[in-house]
A and B are shown apart, each in its own frame.
Chain A
C-alpha cells in the first residue's frame, strides 16, 4: 500500500516510513502542512497519516480541505494530546481513525491496514470464511469443519471483527474500540481473557490453530498455509 506521512517531527516520520518500508509498503513524507496538502491532492495514496500540529496548515484543516475537494482517501490523525474531545474533533474533521503519540509501530500498522481494507471491502457480506471456519451472518451461526460452535453475542462480534480482518494484526485497543465501542484505557488486559475464551471455542480440538497472538502487538486470525 502507498502511504503519505505528513509529520513535522523528522524522527517520527523516519520511524514510520522505515517501518512501513520494512514490511513492504511505499511511504512518502511531507514535513509541513502545505507540502502535505499539495501531495495529498495531486498524488494517489491508499492512506494518509496526518499529525495534528503542523507548521503552516494544521492536520485537521488538511483533512477538511481534502474532503471538501471530494477526496476520500482514508486518514489517520496522529496527536500528542490524548483527550476525548480532541479525538471527537479529529473524527468530526473527517479523519477516519485517531492515534495518540507515542504509539507502537505495530498499532499504527494494524490501524492503517484496517483502514485500507475497510475502503476495499465494505460490501455487506452474509458469509465470512477463514480456512475451515465459517460464519453465517444472517443465521448468526459459526461452524468449523461442519461442527456448530456456540458463541455468546459479544464473542460472535469479536470473531466477526477478526474474520473481517483475517490475516491482519488487530491490536487490543482496536478490539476495545471496534467490538466494545468504548474508547478507554484498561488498567489490566481484559481483552486477553475474552480472546482466550474465544480461542478455546474455535481452536480447541482442531488440528490447526487459527487465532494467533502476535507478541507486542495483538492478535491475528489466519488460515493455515
Chain B
C-alpha cells in the first residue's frame, strides 16, 4: 500500500511538472516572440513605428488580456504602456523579471513575468505577461491531481480490501478442509470456484494429491487386511491343532502342561497380532460408523466397577469417580477399551497399599487417572505410546507393550489430548476431551 501510494504520488508530481512547466515555457516563448517582433519593427520603422505598433496593441487589448507593455526613456520614466512604472525588482540570470502588479482593479495580488529589452537610442522596452490565469490553471491542475490521487487511493484501498477478503476466504476454505482431513476424514476435498484462477489450480493439485493419499491408505488397509487373513489363518490352524491335542494327551501320553503352555503361547501371539491390526485400523479409520452420543460418566463407572475387585485383590484402594454428567461423541466400546487399558496399567504397576484415583472435571471436560506407583521418568513419557515400547523396569512383567498404543490410537480418533504428569509419587494420565 505504501509502495502504491508513493508511486501514485510520484506519477502525479510528474504530470504536474510536465503540464504546468509546459504552460510556463509556452508563456515565455510568446513573450520572446513578441519582443523579437517589436524589435524588428523598431529596426525597420524606427521609434515611430514601434510606438504606433504598441499603441495599436494597447488599443486592441480587451479587459482581462494578460499582455504587459512598457516603453521608457533612459531614466526609466514611462513613455507608453499599460503599467505605471518600471518594476523595482532585479533581473534574474536569464534576463527575466518576476514582479507584483498593483492595479486598482486587482482584488487579488497578480504576479507578472516580463523581460526587459534595451533599444538603440536609450529606450527600454518591457514586455511581459500577467501570470494570473496561468496560476489559476496551475491551481486547477493541482486540485484535479489531488482529487484524482484521493480517488485512486480510495479505489485501490477498496479493491485491496475486497481482494484480500476473497483471498482470505479461499485460504480459509483450504485450511478448513485440511483440518477436517487431519482429523481423519480423508474423503473431504477442497472446493473450487470454476474460475480457473491460481487458487483453483492449487486446490485441484491438492485434491489430486489427496486422491493419491487416499489410494495409498486404502492400499495399506488392504495389505493389512491381507496380512490378517494370510497370517492369521496358519496361526489359527496351529492354535486349533494344539487345542485338539488337549483332549488326547491321556491316550497318547502327551505332557499336558507342555500342550497347555504351547496353547497359551499361541494365544499370546494371536492377541499381539490382533492388537497390532486393531491399532492400525483405528489409526487409519476415517469413517466413524460406530460413533454416537456416549455417556462417559456411566462408561467410567462401568470401568471402575469391572476393575474394582481386581484392584482390591492387589491391595489397592480405588476411589470411585465423582458423580457428574459428562457426554461426548464417540465409540462406546473403544472409549471403554481406552479407560480400561489405562486403569489396568495403573493397577498393574502400583504396589500393594497404593491408591488409585479417577477425577472428573466436567466443566473443563477433563479426566485424570492417577496412581501412586513408580511413575514414568520425564524423558520417557512421550515414548510410552509407541508400539512395543516398554520401560526397563517393566520388561519382566506381563503385557504386550501395545496397551498404551491402543489408548493413543483411540484418543486420536476421538480428538482427546493425552498428557502424562507426575503425581509425586506416581503417574497422572490427563485426558482433555474435545468440546
Contact = CB atoms under 8 A, between A and B. Distances in A.
Chain B associates with chain A: yes
Interface of A: 9, 11-12, 15, 53, 80-85, 88-89, 100-106, 154, 180, 182-188, 190, 193-194, 197, 216
B5 to A, nearest CB: 60
B342 to A, nearest CB: 11
Contacts of B239: 102, 104
Interface string B217-246: 000000001001100110111011001101
Contacts of A12: 233, 236
Interface string B278-309: 10010000010110000000000010011101
B336 A102 contact: no
A105 B240 CA distance: 8
B310 interface: yes
Contact of A102 (B235, B281, B309): B235
Interface stretch (B269-277, B315-323, B353-361, B426-434): B269-277
Contact of B274 (A82, A104, A190, A197): A82
B313 interface: yes
A168 B112 CA distance: 125
Nearest to A14: B240
Contacts of A185: 271, 274-275, 278, 337
A85 B287 contact: yes
18 contacts: A9-B233, A11-B233, A15-B244, A80-B229, A81-B228, A82-B277, A85-B287, A85-B290, A103-B236, A182-B302, A184-B334, A184-B340, A186-B344, A187-B340, A187-B399, A190-B344, A216-B260, A216-B263
A215 to B, nearest CB: 8
A190 B306 contact: yes
Contacts of B274: 82, 100, 185
Given A9-B233, A101-B232, A102-B239, A184 B337 contact: yes
B366 interface: no
Q: Bin chain B's interface residue count.
A: 35 or more
A106 B305 CA distance: 28
B333 A193 contact: no
B375 interface: no
B331 interface: yes
Contacts of B289: 85, 88-89
B177 to A, nearest CB: 24
A194 B312 CA distance: 11
A154 B237 contact: no
A180 B336 CA distance: 11
A220 B211 CA distance: 53
A15 B242 CA distance: 12
B341 interface: yes
Nearest to A181: B302
B25 to A, nearest CB: 87
Nearest to B332: A182
B141 to A, nearest CB: 77
B403 interface: yes
